[in-house]
Amino acid sequence: MGADSETTRRGILVAARGVITERGYQAATFQQIALRAGVSRPTLHYYFGSREQIYDVLLAEVHHAMVVCVADAERKVGLRNQLASFLESLQRWSLEDADTLRFLVAARLEHHRGPHRAEAAARIFAAVHSFYDSVVLKAIRRGELPSDIDAAAVADMLAGLFWGAGFHAGFLRGRTADDDAGGVARQLLTLFESGLLESPVAAPVDA
């Protein structure tokens, strides 16, 4: 009974993750989740009291995985190795469980466009951005980055690249046989190391 119960609970969470990713949190309903999971509404209510509870459980699982990825990356030596480790984690997610990666990116969008603000979601995003803030500041102290660099801007840029790469890996990758999330990650690191531009380019001047 215990194993069957956990299987049913897991099936509900997987179904809910898919429905929320496809429709958004506000549009996802208990009925849709029950249908996707192949269970009755009473059975769904037996395991979870509300849609918010399901969402929080899913977000908590992603937050745990994110904390592990951050800890692994922070143990590496040097900014490049830290960034590579974090992007490799993204690639593993894409290959092993693309649905979770899609859910992560969808939760990011949901958090900003809808009235619902989940604390569990905020913790995930804070973990990502705190990681980039931390590694950039430490790289400056080690002399890997210029001391006069705008640390906040660099961290925001890296976070933006992370979410963009996550969107690509979660929603765009797999459309063609030549898609390679690892290649995208490696190219991002190469660009970061050498600079996006080899020489300064003047800002455009309005005519």
Structure-model confidence comparison of residues 96 and 174, the more confident one: 96
H-type alpha helices, the chain: 2-23, 30-37, 41-47, 51-74, 79-96, 98-113, 119-142, 151-167, 181-194
Contacts by 133-137 with C-beta closer than 8 Å and gap 24+?
134/74, 135/73, 135/74, 135/79, 135/82, 135/83, 136/79
All domains of the chain in start order, with CATH: 1-49 (1.10.10.60), 51-194 (1.10.357.10)
List, for residues 59-87, the tens digit of each pLDDT value. Answer: 999 999 999 999 999 999 999 899 989 98
Is the pLDDT assigned to residue 200 strictly greater than 60? no
The mean pLDDT value for 111-120 works out to: 75
Structure-model confidence comparison of residues 191 and 141, the more confident one: 141
